[in-house]
Amino acid sequence: MRRREFLRTAAVGGGSATLFASGVSVAREPYRPLGSVAVRNAKEAVVGSDGKTAFVASTDGFATVGIGDPANPTVLAERRDLLSGKTGGPLSEIWDVKVDGDRLLVAGPANPVGDNVLHGFALYDVSDPANPERVAFHETEFPIHNAMFADGMAYLTGNDGDGNPLVMVDTSNDSPKEVGRWSMLDADSNWSKVDSWVRSLHDVWVRDGKAYLAQWDAGMWVVDVSDPKNPSHLAHFGGRPLNELAKIPSEKEHDTVIGLPGNDHYVRTNEDGSLLVCNKEAWDTDGKGGNGPGGMELWDVSNLRQPKKLSEIPAPESKDPTYDLQLPNLLPIGVASAHGKCHDCTGGAGASGQWTTSHNFDIAGDRLYTSWYQGGVKLFDISDPANLRELAWWRDPKKTSFWTAQRVSDDFFVAGSMGRHANGKGALYTFPNRAGEQENPPPLTPGGNGTGGAISAPKNESTASTTEQPGFGFGAAGLSVLGLTALRRFRNRE
C-alpha cells in the first residue's frame, strides 16, 4: 500500500494520535471540514463528472460551486427566481438538482403547492459552470420531490395523489418529451386501497437499466427501465404489508408517515448492483423515542428475488427526536409544504425537535457517505457490509443541518447543509475522505457526547418479499414528506 493511501485509510485517531508509516511518525489532525462556502437555503448537492464543480439546489434556484480547491470552495454562479416571467412562476421549492454531463436538471416544486403554481423541471447547459444557460423547460401536472438524470433520461417522482408513478422524460436535443410511466398499481392494483400519501414515491435511483424506487411505507421497488417506453416490475421488498397499510384510519396517517416503521426515503446501490443501501427519514411521534429517528439498512441484492438485510446503522441519539406537524396555522401563506413546521418554512414557522434522522447519502467503492441533519455527517467503511466500521463523524448541531453527502475523489467529499430551520444560512462543506475524530465534539443529548448507537446485524428478521408478494416487516426511510393536507387537496382536486 502506498504511504499516502495508508495515511488516508488508517484507523481512527484523535488529535494527539500518531501514525507510523515507513518509520516516519505523522501527527493525526483532528477531523474537521476542509472548507465551506455560504449558499442561501441550500438543499441537495451533486458533483459534476469533472470533480471540480458542485451543483446546489437552493430552494428558489441553484448555485454552481467550484471545488477544485477543497479548502476554498467558491460560488461561481447563482440563478434564482427561475422562470419568474412564466405563468405560475417562478419555479418554487427547488430541493433537488441532478447533473448528467454538461446538462443540469433543476426540479420543483418539491411538494403540492396549488393548482396555479408552475410545476416541472428546467434544463441548463452547464458546460461553463460560471455561466449556466437555460436551454429547456418541461412542465408537469405534478410536483417533483426528487429526480434522477442519466444518459439524457430524466426520471421523476410523479406524486399525483393516485398511482404516484415514476415518470420518464427523454431530454435528447434539449427537447424534453415524456416517454413512459410506471406505478406500483401496474404491478398490483390492490395498492390503490392504501392511501397515496402512505405510499408516496419519494426518490429514485437508476443504474444499469434498473430503477430503484423508495416508496415510503410501501417499501422498495425495482423496475426494469432499459426500455423506458415499456418499463416492467422486477422486485419488491421491505416496507409494510399492503393489507396492514390499507387498514390505517385517516386519523392515524400522520403518525404512520412521520414515524417508524416505514419511511423508505432513498435507495442506492453500489457499482455492480450487489449491495443496496436504504435509509429511513423518521421522527418520534409518541414522545418515547420508539419510532424515530430513522437510520439506514444495507441489503444484499445480488439475487433480487431473495434480498437479505445485512446490517443496520442507527441514527445518532437526539435530545428531542420529535417532529411537531401541526399544519393548520403553521404553513407559510400560499404554501402547503411537505413538513408542516418544516425545514423549508420561512418566517417564524420553525420546526421543533433536534433532527438526527438519516437523509441523503452516497456509495463509492468501499465507502458510504452519510448525512444526518443536525446529527452531522458520517463516513463508513463498507468493505464488509455485514460488519461496518465508522471511520469519521463530524457535527455542529447549533450551526449545521446536513441534507446530503457526496463523494468527489479519494481525497474529499462534499456535504450540503441547509442551515438551521430556514435561517437562510445554508452552505456547502468539504470534508477529508479519511478516518478521523472530531476534537471536542458538541453533545447531541443532555449531558452526553452524542453517541450514535451500535451498528448491528438484523434482528431475527427473515428476508423480504420478492416479485410474487408484498414486502413486510422492517421500517424504511422516508419522504421529506409530502404533506397530508397538501397531498389530499392535490389528490382531490377536479
| pLDDT 10s digits, 402-436 | 999 999 999 999 999 997 655 678 999 999 999 99
34 and 414 in contact (C-beta within 8 Å)?
no
Band of residue 167 on the pLDDT scale cut at 50, 70, 90 = very high
Cβ count within 10 A of residue 463? 17
The rounded distance, in Å, linking the Cα atoms of 248 and 208 is: 36
Instruction: Give the distance from CA 223 to its chain's centroid.
Output: 19
Cβ count within 10 A of residue 174? 12
Closest to 42 (Cα-Cα) out of 414, 356, 335:
414
Average pLDDT along the chain: 84
336 against 201, higher pLDDT:
201
What share of residues in the chain are helix, strand, coil (percent, to 5)?
A: 10, 35, 60
Cβ count within 10 A of residue 347? 9
Band of residue 445 on the pLDDT scale cut at 50, 70, 90 = confident
Q: Quick one: cell of 154? A: 430524466
pTM: 0.86
Closest to 392 (Cα-Cα) out of 68, 29, 108:
29
Band of residue 457 on the pLDDT scale cut at 50, 70, 90 = low
Q: Given strand 74-80, what is the order of strands in its sheet? A: 45-47, 53-57, 61-66, 74-80
The Cα-based distances of 486 to 153, 214, 482 in angstroms read 29, 20, 7
Cβ count within 10 A of residue 23? 5
Residue-wise pLDDT tens digits, 98-152: 999 999 999 999 999 888 999 999 999 999 999 999 999 999 999 999 999 999 9
* Across 12-16, 216-220, 221-225, 239-243, least confident range: 12-16
Closest to 441 (Cα-Cα) out of 390, 358, 360, 377:
377
Which domains are assigned to the chain? 3-492 (2.130.10.10)
